[in-house]
Amino acid sequence: RSAPNHSAPAQSLPAPIRPAGAQALDSAPHSAPALSAQARPSPRAHGPTACAFAFPTPGPGPQPPPLPAFPETPGAEPACCPLAFRLDPFTDYGSSLTVTLPAELQAHQPFQVILRYTSTDAPAIWWLDPELTYGNAKPFVFTQGHSVCNRSFFPCFDTPAVKCTYSAVVKAPSGVQVLMSATQSTYVEEEGVYRFHMEHPVPAYLVALVAGDLKPADIGPRSRVWAEPCLLPTATNKLSGAVEEWLSAAERLYGPYMWGRYDIVFLPPSFPIVAMENPCLTFIISSILESDEFLVIDVIHEVAHSWFGNAVTNATWEEMWLSEGLATYAQRRITTETYGAAFTCLETAFRLDALHRQMRLLGEDSPVSKLQVKLEPGVNPSHLMNLFTYEKGYCFVYYLSQLCGDPQRFDEFLRAYVEKYKFTSVVAQDLLDSFLSFFPELKEQSVDCRAGLEFERWLNATGPPLAEPDLSQGSSLTRPVEALFQLWTAEPLDQAAALASAIDISKWRTFQTALFLDRLLDGSPLPQEVVMSLSKCYSSLLDSMNAEIRIRWLQIVVRNYYYPDLHRVRRFLESQMSRMYTIPLYEDLCTGALKSFALEVFYQTQGRLHPNLRRTIQQILSQGLGPSAEPSTDPSAEPVSAGADRDSDSPALLLGDEAPSSAISLRDVNVSA
């Protein structure tokens, strides 16, 4: 369907304020400004007035909003009167808060609503004991708001259609560094108080906080990395000078970087995704540090979000491709500028290979393969995060760039698009109308209606992309991968294995090796003699490579029940605390005859896992063991006998802390925000 243009101007409320009556923090199920049950007004915690009203102190000229203050500060708040409010059921991931404003409030009159609330066990807020950090020294906390978790962090209009500036005051113990996704920050050491202000309007999901044993190191004129002390040298060495190169390339393509600083904070392995594009402060999981090429791509992708996603945002979660597809296109333009077309084509081939794998699992008529996904009331938008959002969206943007015949001209269009819509939210029609206005000759040719490639079909047809990019410039890197894979599937095996062993993959790029192993995974189960030869040829070599490579080889071991290398699976799981390197293996282990092995390893390692990850693995183990068997968290418990396999026909796509209910697992839907 064609979505209406309801992009919101920069403001903190989505509609004009009525003089009196009830104001609800929710307007529609798909863009629910809501207050989670875990973050509700708390009169017991803060006295009798949980929701109050006040007129701001008048002054000459426009008045900025006052910074929040702690209740014990004398005179921190103006005189205010209590307001009636109610919390109504909304969904299982939030409640709607409705506030009744006083009758004397006049239209267009500035006012403040003060909410006192407590966030405790909130989905957006991840509390880590010291043992769950790398340094094991201090507790750690971070927030993750995408897509609709920040309603449990603070009361908000939790929809990307609404943007506003924000200020925050954070009080922390001595020795704990606090950071937020803000353009301005100060610290008063004697009070232990940090003050933050974001001067540009952002949607609620981009408000982020992290606090812990973090130290900084400059890596460029406007960038620094923050990490635990034991990780700081590695993070600095890998990114020093590179981030400024990427930022400069992006500026040449899409105009000035508008957020001031671009800092990166490396988070403990409990961080639930790979990376998050919080403005001014990208969050990224520390586990990715050992995989250089994945680190480069993930950071460049988050850099690209500074223009596409943060500055210009999708107004509805039903069109996430407007952020992710454009950011992926911009990421690949940046990598082409800095690392050449061959590397970009290799990475693109690797991702499109994963897209087609997901398509085979889901089926070509899956509704989640549409770019304009219909989000039913009450469905958590996070469930729509999948590779179509990224790669099918990228293919559409790439197709638009090919229509104009010149990537540089398309860069000019995107620069004008960002300038026009920065700090607002848009729908697909805004992008497409702007494109046809920028290229009137294409509008005259009715390129939006070309048979089989209609813009409407791109947006609303299920299935794979209608057109894919020409990746021939990467053939020097992809051709050896195809050749090696063909050797391992050829007959006779002895002769093929001899030829294959002569190819030194230790000199390959990470994406080449990963693509090769993915092809072997797709072909699994393989004949046992092939797996034996593969292990003899590669097992020790792959052991010395990064985790992105090792996990793929270990999945081959598990899916082919190759017991001689099972000890490597155990050793890997004993050393990993991140969901990106544990969930895929546990899912594979629980689909066959290795469930008792999975239970044994889990009992030995669960103490080092974040409670959220522990629950997810327990659910995977329960599903793998059958509906009547629940895995105990008691290490002394007897292993439960294996039950029925998971239902492989279910099309569910799950992220977050839910357990997968089908063979479509995180190994197939592994994306960064």
- 390 in active site: yes
Q: Cα–Cα distances in Å, from 400 out to 250, 409, 436, 454?
A: 19, 11, 10, 11
User: Which of the following is catalytic: 254, 329, 390, 399?
Assistant: 390
State which H helix or E strand residue 210 sits in.
strand 209-212
- DSSP E strand stretches across 315-469: 424-426
State which H helix or E strand residue 21 sits in.
strand 21-24
Q: Which two tokens stand for residue 172?
A: 């922390």
Q: Which two tokens stand for residue 343?
A: 């590397």
SS3 311: coil
Task: Please list, in sequence order, all residues whose beta carbon lies within 8 angstroms of the beta carbon of residue 1, skipping any fewer than 6 positions away.
Answer: 372, 374, 460
Q: Is-contact 302 275, C-beta < 8 A? A: yes
Q: How far apart are CA 179 and CA 260, in angstroms?
A: 15
CA atoms 236, 241, 242, 246: torsion sign: positive
Q: How far apart are CA 266 and CA 235, in angstroms?
A: 8
SS3 424: strand
Annotation-wise, does 197 bind a ligand?
no
- Computed on alpha carbons and rounded to an integer, the radius of gyration of the chain in Å comes to 26
Q: Cα–Cα distances in Å, from 209 out to 146, 153, 480?
A: 13, 10, 44
Task: Please list, in sequence order, all residues whose beta carbon lies within 8 angstroms of the beta carbon of residue 62, skipping any fewer than 6 positions away.
Answer: none
Neighbour-count burial for 576-609, b at 16+ CB within 10 Å, e otherwise: bbbbbbbbbbbbbbbbbebbebbbebbbebbeeb
SS3 423: coil
Annotation-wise, does 324 bind a ligand?
yes
Query: Which 8-state DSSP code applies to residue 645?
Result: P
Q: Give the dihedral of Cα atoms 58, 61, 65, 66; nearest 10 deg.
A: -60
- 302 in active site: yes
SS3 363: coil
SS3 content of the chain, % helix, strand, coil (to 5): 45, 15, 40
Q: How far apart are CA 621 and CA 619, in angstroms?
A: 5
For the chain, the residue count is: 673
Which residue is listed with tokens 């040829």? 537
User: Which of the following is catalytic: 228, 277, 302, 587?
Assistant: 302
Q: Which two tokens stand for residue 255?
A: 């105009």
Annotation-wise, does 301 bind a ligand?
yes
Q: Please identify every residue annotated as catalytic.
A: 302, 390
| Known binding-site residue numbers for Zn(2+) | 301, 305, 324
Binding residues: 301, 305, 324
